[in-house]
Structure 1
Amino acid sequence: MRKPLLRILVFLTLIGWSGCSQKTESEVKMANRFPNEDAPLALLMREMFSDMEEIKYSIERGDEIKAYLKKHSELLHARPTNPQVKTATFELMGSAYLESLKMLEESPKALLQDNFKMVIQTCLGCHQQYCPGPIKRINLLNKEAS
């Protein structure tokens, strides 16, 4: 009598666990949109894109741009989805990006637009080497606001 009851309890427990682990439709869509959801570097890169959009619109409106250098410096230390990405070339490209961001943040107003484009070019150069998926999205930063 005890064995069938134990089997039923184990079965119900497993069904309960599997029900908890199923993803909602919204979670599945997000996982498809952002396949590298859990990697800190991927999360940071998405934040960096949003920051670049904010900088772009600040420049277009003639507003002061915010400083993001400290936050974006984490790209050199954040864990990537694929650990093999962290090569000497990645470090050089990451450092070049940070240097161009520093130049942008220290730019006089007359050079903001040109230096912003330079930052975007450093993003594109790295993504052509490592993770080409976001290139189309990054290119949106080069387009004029409508």
Structure 2
Amino acid sequence: MHKCHSYLFILGWLLFNSCAQKDSSQTTLAVQYPNEDAPLALLMREVFLDLEEIKFSVEQGENIKSYLKRHKEILVAHPTNPAVKTATFEMMGNAYLESLKRLEESPKSQLSENYKVLISSCLGCHQQYCPGPIKRIQLLNLGD
């Protein structure tokens, strides 16, 4: 009987520890994406992935496919904090979209330069409004 209690104790301990580990991983995810449900935050994650594709195309000297239609949603997507949507935010968003349009229409000889302008517009806005992703955005810089 004593042996049975030892096994039950060990089984209970393992079950408790496995549940505790699950909770810590969920906490990590919540910290990694604190604005998970805001449509603007979700869109910004998609924009980052698009910019990674654009960076690859620029590095390869390939034409850029169009992302403009989807990225225009930046201007209307609901942010985590509604106070963010100011005239300055709209101005910076429009500057980003104009830079993206210019990049998409660039001849191959100007891809790199126009891409740098695009990434600078991202950094400028994030320095004003949401500095958290700046380090991640800097990963989009060209390695020249």
Alignment length (residue pairs) = 123
- What letter corresponds to residue 86 of structure 2 in structure 1? T
CA distance in 2, matches of 1:32, 1:143: 28
Deviation sequence 1:38-84 (CA, Å, 0-9, x none):
00000000110110011001111222322100000000000000000
Match of 2:37 in 1: 38
Per the alignment, residue 117 of structure 1 pairs with: 116
Contact 2:103 2:115 in 1 (8 A): yes
Aligned residue number for residue 77 of structure 1 = 76
**How far, CA to CA, are the matches of 1:44 and 1:76 in structure 2?**
11
Where in structure 2 are the equivalents of 1:131-146 lying within 5 Å?
131-144=130-143
Of all paired residues, the percent bearing the same amino acid is 67
Question: What is the rounded CA distance, in whole Å, between the counterparts of 1:112 and 1:45 in structure 2?
Answer: 22
Name structure 2 gaps, 5 residues minimum: 1-21
User: 1:48-63 alignment to 2 at 5 Å?
Assistant: 48-63=47-62
Match for residue 96 of structure 2? 97
Q: Which residue of 2 aligns with 1:67?
A: 66
Provide the alpha-carbon RMSD of the alignment.
1.5
TM-score by length of 1: 0.79
Q: Structure 1: state its 5+ residue gaps.
A: 1-22
Q: What are the superposed Cα offsets for residues 72-107 of structure 1, whole Å, 9 maximum, x if unpaired?
A: 000000000000000000000000000000000000
Tell whether the 8 Å contact from 2:40 to 2:80 is kept in structure 1 after alignment: yes
- Matches of 1:60 and 1:95, distance apart in 2: 25
CA offset at residue 112 of structure 1? Answer: 0.4
Q: Which residue of 2 aligns with 1:47?
A: 46
- TM score, norm. by length of structure 2: 0.81
Q: In 2, distance between residues paired with 1:101 and 1:85? A: 22
**Rounded Cα–Cα distance in structure 2 between residues aligned with 1:55 and 1:33:** 24
Detail structure 1 runs of 4+ shifted over 2 Å in the superposition: 23-29
Q: Matches of 1:118 and 1:106 in 2, distance apart?
A: 14
Contact 2:55/2:142 (<8 A) preserved: no
Question: SS at 1:81's partner residue?
Answer: coil
Secondary structure (helix, strand or coil) at the match of 2:73 reads helix
